[in-house]
């Protein structure tokens, strides 16, 4: 029976490597001694033809090889990390800021160094320099292998998604995230930035299709089997929290922590926006008319009660009906009433 073993990368923090300044000073002293040895050995050979050239040869060899330790000097700023590999094997991660010395043959590994997404706080570690030839200037960027540990904000492009009622809506989100495990980020996925972007799109699509754009009857958004009033427009905080949890469950293996997710844009798709606007306007007009009618009926009732209480005038049922009709027309009409003065008999 064949068993499949999964290699789980565990982050190893290198803490005893902050001796870069001591190594740099040592290398400079060795260079100075080697240069002195070259000069002194050359003088000895010039003054005495039979002198041994060993000092000169050794000094030249030291000068040729003394630069190798300089390749192991690493400088990290706050909230930066460097994943080190030695001949393809992961040996550890430098995380704290400082001046480090590591094995000169170690190399930094960051598969997402050249990836630029629509986000703030992207790794600004590229060192631009200019190359001029025949009056032609070219700008070249050398990407750094350092990994940013800062909180960054990813703004993915807007997506067109059908809500639970089938209406196409356009929605955009902003996701704040950071790397908490550098080994998982660089070794468990091919490119952690692209991986995060794709998982944000997928999670957003899965969550949005559960909710209607606006409150709709007989819609269950919580999965408890009962209709509720959840909607993309009215429950944005709940939807955003649900999107965050969905993304987090997808990027755990990449060593990424989702700090927050927020809806930055929400609207009906252009092809149905005009129709939905008319629907909303009609609904608003109906609600306003209902409120006006309720208020007018209350005012008519109050007017009739006050007339009866004070005995100002006695009206039969037919006159009451006419008065009610006139008052409702005046109170519910869109135009100002035109008063008519009756100078004759009431009947």
Helices marked H in 210-253: 236-251
325 or 18, higher pLDDT: 18
328 or 193, higher pLDDT: 193
Range name among 37-46, 56-65, 67-76, 188-197 with the lowest pLDDT average: 37-46
Q: Would you state the pLDDT for residue 340?
A: 64
Q: Would you state the pLDDT for residue 219?
A: 83
Is the model's pLDDT at 310 over the cut of 50? yes
Is the model's pLDDT at 5 over the cut of 70? no
The whole-chain average pLDDT of the chain stands at 81
For the chain, list the domains and their CATH numbers: 7-109 (no CATH), 149-268 (3.30.479.30), 277-332 (no CATH)
Q: Would you state the pLDDT for residue 336?
A: 64
Tokens of 329: 């027309």
Q: Which tens digits make up the pLDDT trace of 84-140?
A: 999 989 999 999 888 999 999 999 999 988 888 766 545 444 444 444 444 444 444
Tokens of 263: 């809806």
Q: Which tens digits make up the pLDDT trace of 86-96?
A: 998 999 999 98
- Which residue bears the tokens 């997506």? 159
pTM equals 0.70
Q: Would you state the pLDDT for residue 125?
A: 41
Q: Are 209 and 165 in contact (CB under 8 A)?
A: no
Other CB atoms closer than 10 Å to residue 331's CB: what's the count? 16
Q: Which tens digits make up the pLDDT trace of 257-305?
A: 999 999 999 888 888 767 667 767 777 777 777 887 777 788 777 877 7
For residue 27, give every residue at least 6 positions away whose Cβ sits within 8 Å of its Cβ, in sequence order, or none. 66, 67, 69, 70
231 or 275, higher pLDDT: 231
For residue 101, give every residue at least 6 positions away whose Cβ sits within 8 Å of its Cβ, in sequence order, or none. 17, 19, 20, 22, 23, 69, 72, 73, 74
């Amino acid at each position: 029976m064949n068993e499949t073993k999964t290699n789980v990368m565990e982050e190893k923090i290198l803490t005893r490597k902050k001796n870069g300044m001591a190594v740099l000073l040592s290398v400079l002293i060795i260079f100075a001694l080697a240069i002195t040895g070259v000069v002194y050995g050359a003088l000895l050979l010039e003054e005495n033809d039979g002198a041994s050239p060993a000092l000169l040869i050794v000094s030249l060899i030291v000068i040729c090889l003394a630069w190798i330790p300089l390749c192991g000097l690493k400088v990290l700023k706050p909230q930066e990390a460097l994943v080190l590999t030695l001949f393809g094997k992961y040996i550890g991660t430098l995380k704290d800021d400082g001046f480090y010395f590591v094995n000169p043959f170690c190399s930094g590994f960051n598969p997402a160094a050249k990836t630029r997404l629509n986000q703030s706080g992207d790794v600004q570690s590229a060192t631009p320099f200019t190359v001029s030839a025949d009056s032609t200037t070219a700008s070249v960027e050398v990407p750094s292998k350092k990994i940013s540990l800062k909180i960054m904000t990813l703004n993915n492009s807007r997506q067109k998604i059908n809500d639970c009622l089938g209406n196409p809506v356009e929605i955009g989100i902003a996701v704040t995230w950071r790397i908490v495990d550098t080994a998982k980020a660089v070794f468990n996925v091919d490119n952690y930035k692209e991986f995060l972007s794709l998982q944000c799109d997928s999670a957003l699509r899965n969550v949005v299709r559960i909710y209607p754009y606006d409150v709709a009857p007989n819609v269950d958004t919580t999965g408890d089997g009962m209709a509720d009033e959840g909607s993309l427009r009215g429950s944005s905080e709940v939807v955003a929290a649900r999107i965050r949890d969905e993304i987090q469950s997808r990027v755990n293996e990449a060593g990424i922590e989702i700090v927050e997710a927020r809806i930055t844009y929400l609207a009906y798709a252009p092809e149905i926006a005009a129709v939905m606007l008319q629907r909303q306007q009609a609904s608003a007009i109906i609600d306003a008319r209902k409120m006006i009618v309720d208020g007018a009926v209350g005012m008519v009732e109050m007017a009739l009660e006050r007339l009866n209480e004070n005995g100002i005038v006695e009206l039969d049922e037919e006159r009451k009906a006419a008065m009610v009709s006139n008052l409702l027309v005046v109170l519910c009409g869109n135009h100002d009433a035109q008063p008519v003065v009756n100078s004759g008999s009431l009947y």
